[in-house]
């Protein structure tokens, strides 16, 4: 039961990423949007035309179901921010908690910068293998619910288990 819950969040996270990427392609890089996946869909917060959201969400679902898994991973994901923060914090802690004060600040800056560089590809790997799943077979969009005067949407999904799949 917990595994199915988490798997559904991962699938909807992938669909959220693909949808936002398509929206960015149509509305331009100045579009501001925040997303959050749930077990029954995802939320988008931002000034997004509802009809365009519906078109992009459906196109995203079709592309992912067609095997275009690259849409599931994005540099704009909070996973990348969290990965960067954790690596920078842990690396700084590692070099400042040991004995001796000599060059502690310069070492902290250096390891933090290295952590930020390492976090970029690592965050994408974490997305690909842990926080998203591009396997949307049997998934359908059942509703797009506007909330908060059109500045907040819930894209509701449902997944039918196909024979031979989990």
The two structure tokens encoding residue 12: 């909807």
Secondary structure element (H or E) that encloses residue 147, with its range = strand 139-147
Q: Which domains does the chain have, with CATH numbers?
A: 2-73+132-159 (3.30.980.10), 78-128 (no CATH)
Per the confidence metrics, is the pTM higher than 0.85?
yes
Q: How do residues 78-124 score in pLDDT, each as one tens digit?
A: 999 999 999 999 999 988 887 766 788 888 999 999 999 999 999 99
Q: Report how far apart, in Å, the C-alpha atoms of 56 and of each of 20, 31, 48, 114, 127 are.
A: 8, 14, 11, 37, 21
Q: How many CB atoms lie within 10 A of CB 105?
A: 11
């Amino acid at each position: 039961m917990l595994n199915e819950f988490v798997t559904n969040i991962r699938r909807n996270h992938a669909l959220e990423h693909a949808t936002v990427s398509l929206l960015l392609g149509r509305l331009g890089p100045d579009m501001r949007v925040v997303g959050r996946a749930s077990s029954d869909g995802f939320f988008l917060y931002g000034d997004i035309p509802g009809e365009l959201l519906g078109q992009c969400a459906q196109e995203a679902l079709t592309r992912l179901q067609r095997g275009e898994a690259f849409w599931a991973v994005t540099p704009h994901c909070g996973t990348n921010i969290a990965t960067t923060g954790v690596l920078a914090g842990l690396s700084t802690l590692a070099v400042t908690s040991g004995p001796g004060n000599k060059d502690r600040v310069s070492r902290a800056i250096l390891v933090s910068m290295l952590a930020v560089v390492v976090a970029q590809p690592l965050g994408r790997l974490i997305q690909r293998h842990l926080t998203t799943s591009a396997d949307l077979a049997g998934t359908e969009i059942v509703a797009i619910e506007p909330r908060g005067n059109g500045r907040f949407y819930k894209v509701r999904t449902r997944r039918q288990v196909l024979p031979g799949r989990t």
